[in-house]
Each structure stands twice: as structure tokens, then as C-alpha cells.
């Protein structure tokens, strides 16, 4: 457990922040040293799942991407407003992808956040296949 915590601390330090004006293309090309396979894994413990206000449990970035595409506006609005972005917080605190979380925190529209997550997941999948 200590090794994993150390790994996560190192991972968080090495993910580079990016400017608020960054495009989806730039998000896709973000150079962090995160371990792609770790970011794609499901969260193991139910206490760390993201529970939508309709009681659906989200366990991974891939699931989040899928749910954001199909989510109704009311459910989305319960989690994202001018004051908060629950998705961004979960991606940062639980998944550990500070790069994606920062981008998500800057967006407020469902289609924009959905696209940002989709682009990032596709990038991470490609990176995992390249054995980084």
C-alpha cells in the first residue's frame, strides 16, 4: 500500500498543468508521465465510485465518458454548476488525472466536458497500447 501511495504522489507531481485556453487537440497531446493503464482501471472500492444523482455508479474514466454522452440535462446539472464540478473533483481526487480534471473544471457545458473526457480516454488508451 505504501508503494502505491508513493507512486500516486509521484504521479500527481509529474502531471503538467496547462493553460485555460487549451483546445481538445492540445489536451489530447498533453505530455504527462502518468501511467496510462492505471488511469484506465476501474476504481476498486465502492466508497470511491462516483455516484450520479440517479444512483448509477461510475467506476472508471471509460464509464464516465459513456455516461456523459447519454446523461440527461437534469442529472448533469446536479453535478456541474457555476459553483462546482463534481466530475472534475472525482477525476482529480480519485482517478488522479489532474490534467483532465483541470480542463473539465474550466468547462460548464455537458457536450464540452463529454468531449474532453472522450479525447483524454482515447489518448490514454493509445498510450497504454504503446507500452509507455
54 C-beta neighbours (distance < 10 Å), count: 11
Higher pLDDT, 38 or 127: 127
Please give the Cα distance from 78 to 41 (Å, whole number).
Answer: 26
Q: Mind listing the pLDDT tens digit for each residue in 9-65? A: 655 555 433 334 445 444 444 444 345 666 777 888 999 999 999 889 999 999 999
Question: What confidence score (pLDDT) does residue 18 get?
Answer: 34
Question: What confidence score (pLDDT) does residue 125 get?
Answer: 82
Residue 32: closest CA among 51, 12, 50, 49: 12
Crossing angle between the packed helical segments 98-106 and 110-129, to the nearest 10 degrees: 160
What is the C-alpha end-to-end distance of the chain, expressed in Å? 23
Question: What confidence score (pLDDT) does residue 101 get?
Answer: 95
At 40, which helix (H) or strand (E)?
A: helix 36-40
Residues 6+ apart with CB under 8 A from 118: 65, 68, 69
Q: What ranges do the domains of the chain cover?
A: 2-129
Amino acid at each position: 500500500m505504501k508503494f502505491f501511495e508513493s507512486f500516486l504522489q509521484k504521479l500527481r507531481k509529474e502531471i503538467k498543468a496547462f493553460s485555460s485556453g487549451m483546445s481538445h487537440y492540445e489536451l489530447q497531446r498533453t505530455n504527462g508521465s502518468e501511467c496510462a493503464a492505471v488511469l484506465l482501471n476501474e476504481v476498486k472500492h465502492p466508497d470511491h465510485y462516483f455516484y450520479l444523482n440517479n444512483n448509477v455508479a461510475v467506476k472508471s474514466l471509460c464509464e464516465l465518458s459513456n455516461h456523459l454522452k447519454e446523461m440527461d440535462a437534469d442529472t448533469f446539472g446536479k453535478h456541474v454548476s457555476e459553483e462546482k464540478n463534481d466530475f472534475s473533483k472525482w477525476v482529480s481526487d480519485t482517478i488522479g488525472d489532474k490534467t483532465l480534471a483541470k480542463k473539465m473544471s474550466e468547462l460548464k457545458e455537458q457536450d464540452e466536458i463529454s468531449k474532453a473526457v472522450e479525447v483524454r480516454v482515447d489518448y490514454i488508451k493509445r498510450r497504454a497500447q504503446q507500452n509507455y
